[in-house]
Structure 1
Amino acid sequence: MLSNMSPMQYIYNHGGPWPPSAPLGSIIGYAGHYMPQLSQLILDNKKITNQTVINLKGIAMQKSFHAHTSFCYSTAVVYRKSTNWNILNCSGDTDIVVSATTTRYVLNKLGLSVKTPWYAYISYISFLVERILYSMLVQVGGYAVEYDNLTFVTVRGAGHFVPSRQHARALCLFSSFLDGNLPPSYPNIPKMKGALVLYLTLICLVASATQCYGEHGYYGYDPLAKFFKAPSLRKSVNHVNKELDSEYSPVYIGPQDGLKAADKITALPGEPKGVNFDQYSGYVTVDPKAGRALFYYFAESQNPSTKPLVLWLNGGPGCSSLGAGAMNELGPFRVTKGGKMLWKNPYAWNNVANIIFLESPAGVGFSYSNTSSDYITGDTKSAADAYTFLVNWLERFPEYKTRDFLMTGESYAGHYVPQLAQLILHNNKITNHTAINLKGVAIGNGYYDIEAQANGSYDYYWTHALISDEIHHGIVSNCNFSSADPPTEACQAYQSQANSALGNIDNDNIYAPLCSSNTPPWINAYDPCSFNYSYTYLNTPAVQKSLHANTTGIPGPWETCNGYIGSNWDDEPDTVLPLIKELTSSGISVWLYSGDTDSVCSVTTTRYALNKLGLSVKTPWYAWYTQDEVGGYAVEYENLTFVTVRGAGHLVPSYQPARALTLFASFLDRKLPPSNHS
């Protein structure tokens, strides 16, 4: 049925243009044929006609359908005749009908020489909010490469109809094309006269919010990205997962009488009215001799006795589950602009479970140690402390001792979660204290395997039009990420080029806007400055008092991520895949999920890691739904489920809260995400 097909799908299936009754805008892709053919005709007639000559200066093709040989021939002919004018080919990088990848394949067939190598170009705009003209801001508009007489440009975050999705970036690109210039690269931003600034402002009104990295929080400091990009920071090389001792090593269990009542939160400053669930927060000592204590925040469900207990861990290593997970992702509240008030998160995970947010290891957030050497730590010690925390916490909250217990987390929790799960299962067999009733683990955009991480990252960059063909080919040809030997100089050079080529984008979500002080407030939607708000809120004395936090006077402010811990991490295996394989054989539920716009721990790296596990497919890949839209895609293996979340970045619940909650509820129910619209 034609009503269920896009114009380009019709062309693919039927070999011809979309029916004439279709709107003109629907055939933009097929203009990849129209434009070079018409240009060729104009150039040919220019030589033989005595009528007015058409003064053709250039052509720009957007999302062009290039599949047929005729296109390549026509473009080549036009190319040979166009020494005095420009050919521009642009691709919105989120289109799958005529994707940036298909265009790049076609350009490779033309065999053109590179004149200006691939670079990130800047989209420059001003914008009005409530009649206030903000200062001019810049952001990465996409990527460009200049060949001899042909320029290829991507438009970041745009689909098949580029100006529809990215008004400002499309206008800036078009302006450069008309001027015969390449799109501007920072700091080569053209000076604009006042009238043009105002004109662009009116045209680009709030079309593309431009931001720079926030002063505080996850987006200003991306520890895992730095962890990967600076191998010299990694202290362990080719470590394998350690075998656990067959004998139980007793853990510290301290007196817990009265501490639950002391930890109860009366009310958080600025919280909305009508809070109908209990909250607790405070410290659990894990090593009294060293003076080491971990901080937690616990949000019960409205009906806590009927809901499971879930532990949430953020990664880093060195980032806070309170500041990231609770305040910016899946917790019951989000912080408003200004950092003084809270608003209720309708998609909070405590709607369906009782959630513990743990700041781990010591030195992260409000967690601390009186022994400074504790801040040089790693995987093994973090897992041991988290286990000690859980045993003591269950003594403080004994009603949860027999409750179903599940663990979730993201990023470097790809190490934390399976390591802690293994320790729990191991100790459940050999200790005489109350066993932890572990039922499942779920990890989002996790770091699992160093080889899959490296190969998958650079392949993700290329398939999402973030790096050039030449850089990607250089990495594939010169880098052997499965080798224990140090990378060659050539490999390191291409890796450095790749990391530089990305430009100033949010690695956690390659299409997200960046943060600036002028970003207007957002409600019930993703706000790129939200970590700044939680930083202000959690450093407010009244808030810390209500949370029973910072009782020992931690030096310096609370931070979302502790860079010292991340840069001094001294114990991390190159792979945790053996642990994940072990968990799949233990009878617990194992889910891995990936937001598909994250470039730090991308969906590609997770799929490469899964391939190394060699699991059999039980339920083939399918689209799952929520709110009558495709929420992502899922595949069920034997004892492991992999789910993608469409349009989500590294912190999945921040970008797609409704889809994240649907996924989480399915995980709790041990059911695949729904495959229908209902």
Structure 2
Amino acid sequence: MFENGPLYFKHAKYNGSLPTLMLNPNSWTKISNILYVDAPVGTGFSYSRSLEGSFTSDTKSAKQSYIFIRKWLMHHPEFFSNPLYICGDSYAGMVVPIIVQDISDGIEIGHKPSINLKGYLLGNPATDRHAELNSQIHFFHHMGILSDELLESAKKHCKGEYVKVDPSNVQCIKDLQAVSQCTAKLNPSHILEPSCGQVWTPKCKKIIRDRNLLEKNLCSNLISLPPIPLLKCRNYGHMLSYYWANNDGVRKALNVRKGTVQEWTRCNLDGINYLKNVKTSTGYHLSISKRHYRSLIYSGDHDANVPFFNTQTWIRSLNYSIIDEWRPWFVDGQIGGYTRTYANQMTFATVKGGGHTAPEYRPNECFNMFKRWLSYEPL
């Protein structure tokens, strides 16, 4: 509803009625068949019939997704021969590479049905959370938010570690407080967009009282019951999604099983039992690369949550040679971003002006990027 699907919400003041849906002219479903899966279990309208099934993790969620894909194909054999790409963005960067490896392992040992796996796509993907958080200071400096002097002082006193800071390192803490003063009021999902505050459901508000700052950040810019965000804010549409998805008529049309999910919400931290048991997914990318699968890794270049700096760093760490050097790519005669391709069939692309979920901010550019890559054309 907010990125590459066939519909989106009309951005209009909420009047108490069902929010209006519009056709998305840049839907990726125009050029591909897409299965949108609520994962891990407990997100969206997904649920588990057993207590055991509700406990999941990075690796278990990947395994559950693989099982789902196999079951779905068994029920829809007409899609057996279709090329399959696994896609996701944000935290899916930790899980999608595992799903791809699980499918690849299944192919090698002869699991049925045989899956025509071709590769994967990831947008602004979380890959190594510590490294990503640590790279934010360089991103902010690059974007003109931090002065040269402050960056150099932080580098000197913090010695490259800006996340797990020694509390006795007073000068480092002082520098990072100065960094925070410069960045705290920014919208980390897109640093040029207004910071509209944090609006949560009652569930998120309870979690924030009980849990740590990281989980608080995960709830940021999601959905809300009143107070209603400003109409100019992007999260106004997120609020509309709450009223839409919790409408009985909508649920009936979507064939949501009655009684399975009491309240749909974009923030469900208290309803999900999830273990983050993968520190970094870089090793999975390396393993997949050796199996010759294609990949497209793209980054909205104004996202501070997962800075494109760090994405480029882990891609370089795979140590594959460049076969198509850094260059601009174009849409309608204008630069859409910059790209390069590696010998492991991995294409990296920035999306100029994009945020954390790039298709949400630059739908036309991302549609053309996806269309060209899917057709084996240069971006």
Q: TM-score range by the shorter chain?
A: 0.7 to 0.9
Counterpart of 2:358 in structure 1 is 652
Give the partner amino acid of 2:287.
E
- Name the aligned partner's letter for residue 334 of structure 1: Y
Q: Does the Cα contact within 8 Å between 1:443 and 1:592 map onto a contact in 2? A: yes
Cα distance change of structure 1 residues 565 and 625 upon mapping to structure 2, 3 Å threshold: farther
Alignment-derived partner of residue 669 in structure 1: 375
Give the match for residue 8 of structure 2: 334
Residue in structure 2 matched with residue 488 of structure 1 by the alignment: 166
Q: Show the counterpart of 1:405.
A: 84
Quote the Cα distance in structure 2 between the aligned partners of 1:370 and 1:500: 47
Question: What residue in structure 2 maps to residue 545 of structure 1?
Answer: 252
Residue number in structure 1 paired with 2:276:
571
Matching residue of 2:201 = none
Instruction: Please tell me the residue identity of whatever aligns with 1:333.
Output: L
2:74 alignment counterpart: 395
Structure-2 separation of matches of 1:481 and 1:440: 35
Q: What TM-score, normalized to structure 1?
A: 0.47
SS in structure 2 at match of 1:529 = helix
Partner letter of residue 3 of structure 2? Answer: E
Equivalent residue number for residue 511 of structure 1: 192
SS in 2 for 1:356: coil
Shift of 1:400: 0.9
Aligned-pair CA distance for 1:472: 2.9
Distance 2:161 2:315 in 1: 16
Superposed, 1:375-454 pairs within 5 Å as 375-450=54-129, 452-454=131-133
* Cα distance in 2 for residues equivalent to 1:511 and 1:416: 29
SS in structure 2 opposite 1:619?
Answer: strand
CA distance in 2, matches of 1:420, 1:617: 26
Give, in whole Å, the separation in 2 of the partners of 1:497 and 1:570: 33
Name the residue aligned to 1:296: none
1:209-243 deviation line (CA, Å, top 9, x unaligned): xxxxxxxxxxxxxxxxxxxxxxxxxxxxxxxxxxx
* Aligned partner of residue 37 in structure 2, secondary structure: strand
Tell me by how many angstroms 1:378 deviates: 1.5
The answer to whether the 8 Å contact 1:510/1:598 transfers is yes
- Give 1:408 deviation, angstroms: 1.3
How far apart, in 2, do the equivalents of 1:517 and 1:417 lie?
Answer: 32
**What are the equivalent positions in structure 2 for 1:521-670 lying under 5 Å apart?**
527-555=234-262, 557-564=263-270, 569-639=274-344, 640-670=346-376
Aligned residues of 2:230 and 2:236 also touching (Cα < 8 A):
no
Distance 1:445 1:464 in 2: 17
Q: CA deviation at 1:447?
A: 1.2
Point out the more displaced range, 342-351 or 454-463. 454-463
CA distance in 1, matches of 2:371, 2:257: 34
Give the letter aligned to residue 317 of structure 2.
K
Read off the aligned partner of 1:507 and give its amino acid letter. Answer: P
Superposed CA offset, 1:494-534 (max 9, x none): 556534531333211111134564426xxxxx945221111
Give the fraction of aligned pairs with identical amino acids, expressed as a percent. 28
Secondary structure at the counterpart of residue 193 of structure 2 = coil
Structure 1 distance, partners of 2:182, 2:292, is 44
Query: In 2, are the aligned partners of 1:467 and 1:501 still within 8 Å (CA)?
Result: yes
Query: Does the 8 Å contact 1:593/1:644 carry over to 2?
Result: yes
Alignment-derived partner of residue 245 in structure 1: none
Number of corresponding residues: 339
1:265-284 to 2 correspondence within 5 Å?
A: none
What corresponds to 1:351 in structure 2? 30
8 Å contact 2:107–2:114 — kept in the other structure?
Answer: yes
Counterpart amino acid of residue 532 in structure 1: M
Distance 1:671 1:452, change over 3 A: farther
Map 1:497-508; keep pairs closer than 5 Å.
497-508=178-189
Code of the residue aligned with 2:99 in structure 1: it is: L
Q: Which runs of 5+ in 2 are unaligned?
A: 197-227
Cα RMSD, aligned residues only: 2.5
Secondary structure, counterpart of 2:87 in structure 1? strand
Amino acid at match of 2:290: S
Structure 1 residues 457 and 576, CA, compared in 2 at 3 Å: closer, same or farther?
Answer: same
Report the secondary structure of 1:357's partner residue: coil
1:273 aligns with none
CA, structure 1 residues 494+482, in 2 after alignment: closer, same or farther (shift >3 Å)? Answer: closer
- Alpha-carbon distance, 1:575 to partner: 1.8
Give the C-alpha shift of residue 360 in structure 1: 0.4
Cα shift at 1:394: 0.9
**Distance of aligned partners of 1:419 and 1:432 in 2 relative to their CA distance in 1, 3 Å threshold:** closer
- Could you say what secondary structure the match of 2:36 adopts? strand
Instruction: Sort the Cα spacing of 1:335 and 1:607 in 2 relative to 1 into closer, same or farther, 3 A.
Output: same
Alignment CA distance shift 1:451-1:364 (3 Å): closer
Which of these two proteins has the greater Rg computed from alpha carbons? 1
Distance apart, 1:659 and its partner CA: 0.3
Report if the CA contact (8 A) 1:513-1:528 is conserved.
no
Instruction: Tell me the CA shift for residue 571 of structure 1.
Output: 3.0
Q: Deviations over 1:395-451 (max 9, x none)?
A: 222211221101111111111111100000001111341121110111110111245
**Residue ranges of structure 1 left out of the alignment (5+ in a row):** 1-326, 521-525, 674-678
**1:313-332 alignment, distance < 5 Å:** 327-332=1-6
Give SS of 2:71's match: helix
Residues 514 and 501 of structure 1: CA distance in aligned 2, closer, same or farther (over 3 Å): closer
Partner of 1:92: none
Distance 1:454 1:401 in 2: 41
State how far apart, in whole Å, the 2-side matches of 1:458 and 1:393 are.
44
Distance of 1:623 and 1:348 partners within structure 2: 23
Q: Evaluate the alpha carbon distance shift between residue 564 and residue 467 of structure 1 in structure 2; reply closer, same or farther with a 3 A threshold.
A: farther
- Structure 1 SS opposite 2:5: coil
Native 8 Å contact 2:129 2:280 kept in 1: yes
Structure-1 separation of matches of 2:188 and 2:145 = 11
d(CA) in 1 for partners of 2:192, 2:287 = 36
For the Cα contact (< 8 Å) 2:329–2:336, is it kept in 1? yes
CA positional deviation for 1:636: 1.0
Task: Work out the CA distance in 1 between the residues paired with 2:9 and 2:53.
Answer: 31
